[in-house]
Structure 1
């Protein structure tokens, strides 16, 4: 989609007040309007640097990857800070993290992407505490004696804070911001409201952690009920050597499918206390929508939000744009609570084969044809399918069934053939309800965070009251 052409007239004083910057970004982003409104705000304002312990990033250095958890720390890239689920992250050497403590994230910090797509933000929740993070993410570490961390995040992530952060962007091809670009950003002090906003952001963070804990509990319950041993977590498909009969390679000859890594999961399922069944027998249909022409529109009254597969992984999924409600084939794109989404393409160590149970704006929204739909008879069955595919047994099968060299793909038939434990209706409903509850918690977390931002924005617009 081509970028929209924009024209805007600005007072010459804006150029003077902004160091005579002549690039158009700060003037078109809304940063100048936000700064002017904050300047006129009667409430006390403090520079960001005076409310923080530090604003920094890890610094650029080559990374030393490891495979064993005893030698490594989970590592987030710039897109991972937005993720709802941190399982499957690669491991960076503990020795390297000890040598550079700036890698480490602490709960309560505001995380801001600082290169490429700039200004995406996340609040570091408790399951991020101690995780290492890329130099492409800026850390804003609040001084909790001076300001509540949740309030600071809500303000920076508001429609006033984001334009001011992004206005410090520099560079033509690969854009960046540095800590000193936001150190003098004005932060309005809103009295007792700050505590309430902080509590809402903390509530959102706690719900997201609780959702992940519920998923882990559901996976453990499924394994116990089926008599399955715990498999070590993996991100991709490790190198290995395996011997198979010639009759096994009639349909597929790729090594990943016949690897010991994949075989181990399939053989353990076959020998489990509960006999396995296929995804095709659990669901009503597995569908890959047809490709369609994108026709972006602006009016929400006539449009449906369209999500790409990357956004499916975020703690707060955001659409790419709106597409017409009356578009031919729109029904095949809109998803509900009884559908499990599976990204069909990408790198093996990436999002391909990562199941998602819809929440937030995804419910009732349209998702691109790059996500295969597993349509289930009800929410609890969908929750169980999500849990089973989220487990290491599901992950290994989905990753190994992808085909292609440059950009691997999954198709409907490969997903239909994935095996999951058949635990009977009662246990499927019980375990599936935990998956459903995890999606509800993620949905509630988004509502809490949105409410916190709205309180901040409304107070600023009302003059700080």
Structure 2
């Protein structure tokens, strides 16, 4: 229980709200700090688009991106790949609303229904996507208030708490545009704000470049082996097929032997692939299922769940007690590991993977994440990632082994039995380097964003009156 004595003036300044949240979160104190230095009201710095939420519409989903646009929801905007789990909204629905559903350059995205206060900044790749009704998009007059600078401020300890102080609703929290019109933004001069703005915009560009490199690596694998971009438009499309009784002695579930699974097998076989991952010295490491004891950063190691590894910003939110990690260091993630989500609903994150760049080095991941590690120099880890995680054929090879009706999971034996198509050493190295460069850009993007946020926080603390 949190107990706090507050002044009656605070109640007035909070709009006579008597729920505890705004008063115990520190929002009132932070707001006083911002009001004590030079600032502008957000509402005075918006352009003609202002603060907008997509109108409610009937959601009609389609197969194939040629029939619609990716629609981003609360979770999607935080993901590095954006479209990894996004639905495709029918173009017929989109066309009814002119440009009301589209993102615009410089948009700051704030989740406002369900999960409130998560933030994302516009990326050029969003220009051909549409927005769900679960977040607001803020468009500033760039001359009056650079959008990148505003985004950095909103991500500070001050900006984030003040932003969400007017959140309402106990079952489904919400935050409406009119509740943040009086949101005050500290000002520190054009030179400083432009520097912050440029860091945020460069970070956005680097994330798109990184994502593009991952896609290009996958396309090179597809082109080399004549793999189609997609084997199926949905994850468990109804189909029929015949299979020899010899192949059902170990597995009898239909999706392991269906047409799509057989097609992926045939395509891999046509490449002349001879060795499976186990024979190539690939290790599959799973974390121990143990009581998870969380502690402060000084006494723990960064911990990521199977959902968190896919975020654009993979800053750890929790730290697992180092002393509880007994035995060898199987739990420890290394740079260049492949992190595969091994459980979840088919069509979700299960079977999808993340390249462990420098941000993951030494971290601990949930038992729901499987680590694939190259131990043989004859296999390039980046090339392995490109095949398994950047092509649909590789994904189908992984996902076909999902077992379980309630929460499907992937078994280590099925994954290590996957055969790896091979190219020349130079071609594999070239693709592997593309993957590594993509990882470096993703890490650099996060670093730039963190630096910008820290610079704004430091400026606020330096300008605030000393008591």
TM norm. shorter chain > 0.5: yes
Distance in 2 (CA, whole Å) between partners of 1:133 and 1:155 is 23
Superposition map of 1:73-222 within 5 A: 73-88=69-84, 89-100=86-97, 101-191=99-189, 192-222=191-221
For residue 216 of structure 1, give the secondary structure of its aligned residue in structure 2: helix
Aligned CA distance change for structure 1 residues 430 and 276 (closer, same or farther; 3 Å): farther
Specify which of 51, 57, 63 is matched with residue 53 of structure 2: 57
Q: 1:243 to 1:165 in 2, by over 3 A?
A: same
Structure 1 residue 324 and structure 2 residue 321: aligned? yes
Q: How does 1:22-61 map to 2 (within 5 A)?
A: 22-41=18-37, 43-48=38-43, 50-52=45-47, 53-61=49-57
Deviation at 1:361, TM superposition (A): 3.8
What CA distance in whole angstroms lies between the structure 2 residues aligned with 1:445 and 1:32? Answer: 32
User: Could you tell me which residue of structure 1 aligns to residue 392 of structure 2?
Assistant: 392
> 5+ unaligned residues in a row in structure 2: which ranges?
none
How far apart are residue 334 of structure 1 and its match? Answer: 1.9
Between the two proteins, the alignment pairs up a number of residues equal to 458
Instruction: Let me know the Cα RMSD of the aligned residues.
Output: 2.1
- In the alignment, the residues of structure 2 paired with residue 435 and residue 113 of structure 1 have an alpha-carbon distance, to the nearest angstrom, of 31
State the SS of the aligned residue for 1:336: coil
Q: Is the 8 A contact 1:44 1:189 kept in 2?
A: yes
Alpha-carbon distance in structure 1 between the residues aligned to 2:353 and 2:462: 43
Q: 1:220 to 1:199 in 2, by over 3 A?
A: same
Distance 1:148 1:249 in 2: 61
Residues of 1 paired with 2:274 and 2:28: CA distance?
A: 60
Work out the CA distance in 1 between the residues paired with 2:127 and 2:274.
Answer: 37
Q: Does 1:354 align with 2:349?
A: no
Instruction: Give the corresponding residue for 2:3.
Output: 7
1:235 Cα deviation (Å)? 5.2
C-alpha contact 1:357 1:382 (8 A) present in aligned 2 = no
Give the C-alpha shift of residue 464 in structure 1: 8.1
Equivalent residues of 2:381, 2:432 under 8 A apart? yes
- Residues 327-346 of structure 1, C-alpha deviations (whole Å, 9 max, x = no match): 23372222111311111111
Aligned counterparts of 1:23 and 1:332: Cα–Cα separation in 2: 46
Partner of 1:437: 437
CA deviation string 1:348-393 (max 9, x = no partner): 1111111111236422211111101111138982222211111111
* TM-score (structure 2 length as normaliser): 0.92
What residue in structure 1 maps to residue 303 of structure 2?
A: 306
Matched, 1:458 2:458: yes
Further displaced range: 313-322 or 448-457: 313-322
